[in-house]
Structure 1
């Protein structure tokens, strides 16, 4: 049979301790738990993702930059043409003489209407009589002047259209630049959140990953079988090993991925378009089993990242912000396709 005795009430001293403890707890500020800081591996993963996310807008930036340059050149040529046409009109006016020039300034109104609008009918009639005596050559010149005037107006309109399009491209360029810089700022903030010790660990992990991927330093030299233009391309690429990646750059001190591939083939006398997507579209598709040194490799998709195949299952590429031009296995990133310029 169980005991039914009442529990012994707490002593006065015990009650005093409990009351004091409760009072102390109630005085502590109530706050949520601080979010745990990401680990080195988490930061490394997030930074890599941000750099990867920056690659697509980088290529869009490159395309917008090329479009802006093209439009500015076209607008410049149109403006030069405007100046040339205007000078031609001025010369023709002088050659036509004052009476024919006056006829041109009248704008080709019907004679009866010009008489109605004239402030001095007698003066108008005098001019009309003189104009009737214009030579056939002057009439031809007058007709030519009107034709040139129309051409000038059209050229001016085309120049303004090009300038407007160039300004739109500039705004698009600024938007892409901000998008890229936003990704890079976020990556830097993550890296800056690490302690000095964590940064040292991260650096060691990056170096270990590079060694595992088979990347090389600027001291490497090519000794493969490539010849002709392909050999020129690969020798150029080996000379760039160790130079930094920089988005939007085409050399000679830094490169982004398509800037490097374009510069390498340019060294061999072949002009390639600026962006990854354009280079992919311009080249001849090559099966992975038929790869030859000098072929351009595309990872992820047709518009994100590329490099140049050097043989033995490896390629040279400009990887991303914070890293240098390096040799990497094709399998280091998801292989997509290859083209031959």
Structure 2
């Protein structure tokens, strides 16, 4: 075999080998990991012999606070679930496109290999080797060089596409695992929320009508004392910010929801949880914000209380487990807790962690 023939023959064999390896490859998704253990059940600290309304109120506050924390975890997992689902859909499309591209490249590789084995095992571009015409020899040499370059480029493209396909498959597998983690987190949070709410309802159901009225009175008195103490600092004399155009729209949306029930995990249109109300209000104002109160606290710009203006969000409790919208004049609009409706309350009725501004 002549040197020129060996080069072309080796190139053809390389193309066939690459096509064979590509055809034999495939993608696989790993199975999700084990499901984490369910949270341990909780128990009430209030015994039948100790139904003092003050103690009951403290216990209920704790139960509903824990339910709010679990609701934030549920909402965060739900948002992550949506993002992972969208990412998997995008990766699925990329995988299909890569598979189609790979199929086209394999067809091209096969066609090139078949062309090189026509006419007695020699490609048409190599038949110049048997010619006595110098010009034909030179023309054939150029054509052979171009063919080799094209074949080399085809091999590189096939290899790159195969690597892309493998990476897409690995990414999709990782996203599926994350999706299952989010699903389990949601399920655990949902279970904890329901446990907290069920125990709170059970505790309230053990109260007689007189005790229930006294409990409601204690809650109102506690909120009134906290608001009075907050106003007593003279803070309203310092707060004189005017709502932005988007802030006004957000407050208008929140105001229109007054009277609608609190439902954990809800973001309208018929019911809301605390961050569902604030996030939807700002979405309606044309400025989407994070879904949960904890994310709102972490990601939005912090402002001093004295600088807050209507539309700003007040974050409550040390763990940022509750959020409300400042409406002006020391008032907030909030979705308080299960069993309550969207309402207007005093901004200082709960421990304030800080203030954030969505449209900073």
Give me the TM-score of the superposition, normalised by structure 2: 0.68
**1:334 aligned partner:** 351
Contact 1:295 1:339 in 2 (8 A): yes
**1:111 aligned partner:** none
Moved more, 78-87 or 46-55: 46-55
- Partner of 2:88, secondary structure, is helix
Sort the Cα spacing of 1:295 and 1:302 in 2 relative to 1 into closer, same or farther, 3 A. farther
Rounded to whole Å, the distance in 2 between the matches of 1:131 and 1:174 is 66
| Residue 308 in structure 1 maps to residue 325 in structure 2 | yes
Deviation at 1:292, TM superposition (A): 1.3
Output one character per residue of 1:131-175: Cα deviation in whole Å (capped at 9) or x when no partner.
Answer: 996833344323322221121111111111111111112112211
* 1:113-128 paired onto structure 2 within 5 Å: none
Q: Which of 172, 186, 189 is equivalent to 1:176?
A: 189
Sort the Cα spacing of 1:93 and 1:160 in 2 relative to 1 into closer, same or farther, 3 A. same
Contact 1:245 1:321 in 2 (8 A): yes
**1:38 aligned partner:** 51
**1:65 aligned partner:** 78
Q: Which of 268, 273, 281 is equivalent to 2:290?
A: 273
* CA-based RMSD: 3.3
Contact 1:301 1:336 in 2 (8 A): yes
Contact 2:223 2:349 in 1 (8 A): no
Rounded to whole Å, the distance in 1 between the matches of 2:160 and 2:258 is 59
* 1:84-95 paired onto structure 2 within 5 Å: 84-95=97-108
Output one character per residue of 1:223-280: Cα deviation in whole Å (capped at 9) or x when no partner.
Answer: x974622221111111011111111111111111111111111111111111112212
Sort the Cα spacing of 1:127 and 1:179 in 2 relative to 1 into closer, same or farther, 3 A. farther
**1:188 aligned partner:** 201
- Partner of 1:298, secondary structure, is strand
The alignment covers a number of residue pairs equal to 278
Rounded to whole Å, the distance in 1 between the matches of 2:162 and 2:121 is 23
- Partner of 1:331, secondary structure, is coil
Output one character per residue of 1:299-338: Cα deviation in whole Å (capped at 9) or x when no partner.
Answer: 1135211111111111111111111111111221112211
Rounded to whole Å, the distance in 1 between the matches of 2:317 and 2:124 is 75
Rounded to whole Å, the distance in 2 between the matches of 1:328 and 1:225 is 20
- Partner of 2:289, secondary structure, is coil
Contact 1:315 1:329 in 2 (8 A): yes
Contact 2:279 2:290 in 1 (8 A): yes
Deviation at 1:94, TM superposition (A): 2.1
Rounded to whole Å, the distance in 2 between the matches of 1:324 and 1:283 is 26
**1:231 aligned partner:** 248
Contact 1:308 1:316 in 2 (8 A): yes
- Partner of 1:269, secondary structure, is coil
Deviation at 1:100, TM superposition (A): 3.6
**1:19 aligned partner:** none
Sort the Cα spacing of 1:334 and 1:209 in 2 relative to 1 into closer, same or farther, 3 A. closer
* 1:1-341 paired onto structure 2 within 5 Å: 36=49, 38-98=51-111, 100=113, 135-136=147-148, 137-195=150-208, 198-199=211-212, 226=243, 228-301=245-318, 303-341=320-358
Deviation at 1:195, TM superposition (A): 4.4
